[in-house]
Amino acid sequence: MLEKLLENLKGLEPSRILLQVPEGLKPKVLEFAREIEKLGHEVFISAEPCFGSCDLRDREAEKLGAVLVHIGHTDFGLKPECRVIWEEYRLEFDPKPYLEQNLDVLKRYKTLGLLSTLQYLNSLQDAKEFLESRGVSCHLGIPAGGQMLGKARYPGQILGCDLTAALSIQNLVDAFLFLGTGRFHVLGLVRKTEKPVLMLDFDSGKLEDLTGERERLERIRQACIEEAKGSKHFGILVSTKPGQFRPELAVKLKKKLEELGKQVWILVFDEITPEKILGMHLDILVNTACPRLSEDLERFEKPVLEPEEVDRLFEKPQKPSYE
Amino acid sequence: MLEKLLENLKGLEPSRILLQVPEGLKPKVLEFAREIEKLGHEVFISAEPCFGSCDLRDREAEKLGAVLVHIGHTDFGLKPECRVIWEEYRLEFDPKPYLEQNLDVLKRYKTLGLLSTLQYLNSLQDAKEFLESRGVSCHLGIPAGGQMLGKARYPGQILGCDLTAALSIQNLVDAFLFLGTGRFHVLGLVRKTEKPVLMLDFDSGKLEDLTGERERLERIRQACIEEAKGSKHFGILVSTKPGQFRPELAVKLKKKLEELGKQVWILVFDEITPEKILGMHLDILVNTACPRLSEDLERFEKPVLEPEEVDRLFEKPQKPSYE
């Protein structure tokens, strides 16, 4: 499974290595470490949760004097503080039985845009062949790449912060079909496109139509913004994860909010979790880190705005139409 | 409350500041930030939990281009990666009513060694005067200081990793009296001294005799060591917190354990918590970070050894005496 990585590491002088894997690969990490150690390297395993290529433990590797081996995500062009060896990780998974099972629904669409995340990308080609043999034509969009939010690399690949593979083909397809796991990727898409969005969950085999979530999410956003207009105490969230670190944006947002008479504090996290700000009296949070966090509303028990939504606070409050 | 800090900051060119406080001061941190901001500084608040002077967010401050203001702990001589301004924080608390209430028990001892942590140190002098007026003579031990584990600075001050203020006077006192909060400081002491150890809890006002814990803790340690002797898979815990970072010790312990035929992995954390290693099959953990962690056994649901205890694995298993 790690052939390419082991080949790369063979070429390396015996080194100290910090090994980082996403949560889904934690059960395998001891085994990976052992394989790498067999080549003569000294291996440390990063135990911190890892949520993406943005979440690179480069400073810890540098502190250890180690080369960072990061498994499971696409390098999206960060400038790390240590040498990094990236190892993509793809699961082999046959989507055909699940597609077969849900064909009635899928055949309602003439053209589907297929999407997935890195680990299931190999399934997309199988899915495309299968669906086209059943009369549904399929597209895999090409991510924009290279730009600030262009982090995906492969046809059909989406990330929490890069939906360009989908958006580039929205005019060509009748609906999107996401194949894999992780509902939050799809909810992000639901908000960005007007096309129907389906998810075929590779854990349960169930096909879910998430299009109906669009209106619900928009209502929640609207409610957050209205609540923020009437609120006083704002916390702006900054993460120190290399691919999420935007302190200057936080300073800019603080100034904007202060123009509106708000009381604003900037809070710095590694991983942003609600319990870290327990006991601080804040009404509204503004998230400058991972864009998926804002959809994780319930955990915070208070509204979390996206940076773009701060501008909407300058709009007048909506008045009931009978006035 | 922060007069000295604010005076120091007045002398500083308007700077970016990363403000770090321990958990107990989190409810006040927004107010602190506002005070500092009024002096013209740009303030970021560290939201990460902070457990001591060992737990310095210096790398985050450096990344932000900020001066670190660390409130509530004693500088114990780390070499941080940014400029740090330390502000000790002491609470005013009158221990006399609680002492009065428990005088019957306290008067059983002719001489007490008084101990506390930084925030309640001001109470020690009041307690000494009160107890001596009631016929109990009191000592405040002087921390060893300057050495590897000499981190406390003031008479009577103990830290999770520095009990020298107590140990220096154990031959002079009939018992120790800890005044303050945080049972784990006292449990550490119970294991290191043979004298009785009492705790007067400033939250509840209750006096507790922890001497009986000594035997229970020793039984637990013994059981951990015996279990470790028969176990195969070991994880050595390293923390990247500046005052807890001991990777070379971890490498040394790994080699030692491998001499015993153990399978060993080194795991790197910021804060060490059980959920970060869920899914990894490890039988025994060895902690190279905060020494108080080993007493926090229940959370890990597996034995956590101290580095010194690894040597005890080389002893033969204890055999029942009838053999």
Q: Closest to B247 (Cβ–Cβ): which among A44, A45, A247?
A: A44
Asked, for residue B28, whether it belongs to a domain, the answer is yes
In a shared domain, residues B190 and B157 = yes
Asked, for residue B317, whether it belongs to a domain, the answer is no
Each residue's pLDDT tens digit, A78-87:
899 999 999 9
The letter for the amino acid at B175 is A
CB contact under 8 A, A30 and B280: yes
Establish how many alpha carbons lie within 13 A of residue A319's alpha carbon, considering only the half-sphere containing its beta carbon: 4
Q: Give me the CATH number covering residue B153.
A: 3.40.50.11850
In a shared domain, residues B269 and B287 = yes
The Cα B35–Cα B9 span in angstroms is 10
In a shared domain, residues A137 and A187 = yes
Pull the structure tokens for residue B250: 């971890």
Question: Which residues does A contribute to its contact with B (CB < 8 Å)?
Answer: 18, 26-27, 29-30, 33, 42-49, 57, 59-60, 63-64, 233, 237-238, 240, 245, 247, 250-251, 265-270, 272, 276-282
Asked, for residue B322, whether it belongs to a domain, the answer is no
Q: In angstroms, what separates the C-alpha of A251 from chain B's closest C-alpha?
A: 9
Range of the domain at B285: 218-312
Q: Give me the CATH number covering residue A277.
A: 3.40.50.11860
**Which among B170, B188, B211 is the end of a domain?**
B211
B265 forms beta bridges with: B235
In a shared domain, residues B226 and B202 = no
The predicted complex's ipTM stands at 0.91
CB contact under 8 A, A60 and B268: yes
In a shared domain, residues A117 and A180 = yes
The Cα A278–Cα A302 span in angstroms is 12
In a shared domain, residues A114 and A207 = yes
- Which residue has 């879910």 as its token pair? A208
Print pLDDT tens along chain B (323 aa): 788 999 999 999 999 999 999 998 999 999 999 999 999 999 999 999 998 999 999 999 999 999 999 999 988 888 999 999 999 999 999 999 999 999 999 999 999 999 999 999 999 999 999 999 999 999 999 998 744 446 888 999 998 889 999 999 999 999 999 999 988 888 989 999 999 999 999 999 999 999 999 999 999 999 999 999 999 999 999 999 999 999 999 999 999 999 999 999 999 999 999 999 998 999 999 999 998 876 666 788 899 999 999 999 998 766 665 64
Q: What is the 8-class DSSP label of residue A159?
A: B
In a shared domain, residues B194 and B225 = no
**Strand pairing category for B197-201 and B284-287:** unpaired
Q: In angstroms, what separates the C-alpha of B42 from chain A's closest C-alpha?
A: 9
Q: Give me the CATH number covering residue A70.
A: 3.40.50.11840
Query: Is the model's pLDDT at A323 over the cut of 50?
Result: no
Each residue's pLDDT tens digit, B191-209:
999 999 999 999 999 999 9
The angle subtended at Cα A284 by Cα A279 and Cα A289, nearest 5°, is 95
Do A71 and A19 touch, CB atoms closer than 8 A?
yes
A176 forms beta bridges with: A113, A197
In a shared domain, residues B130 and B71 = no
CB contact under 8 A, B268 and A44: yes
CB contact under 8 A, B43 and A280: no
Asked, for residue B228, whether it belongs to a domain, the answer is yes
Q: Which residue of A28, A246, A265, A304 is the best one to mutate when testing the B interface, meaning the one whose CB has the most B CBs within 10 A? A: A265
The Cα B279–Cα A28 span in angstroms is 9
DSSP E strand boundaries for B67-188: 67-71, 84-87, 111-115, 137-139, 175-180
Do B106 and B135 touch, CB atoms closer than 8 A?
no
Do B184 and B82 touch, CB atoms closer than 8 A?
no
Instruction: Quote the percentage of chain A above a pLDDT of 70.
Output: 95
In a shared domain, residues A60 and A133 = no
Query: Domains in chain A: how many in total?
Result: 3
Q: Closest to B280 (Cβ–Cβ): which among A29, A279, A282?
A: A29
Asked, for residue A320, whether it belongs to a domain, the answer is no
The Cα B295–Cα B186 span in angstroms is 11
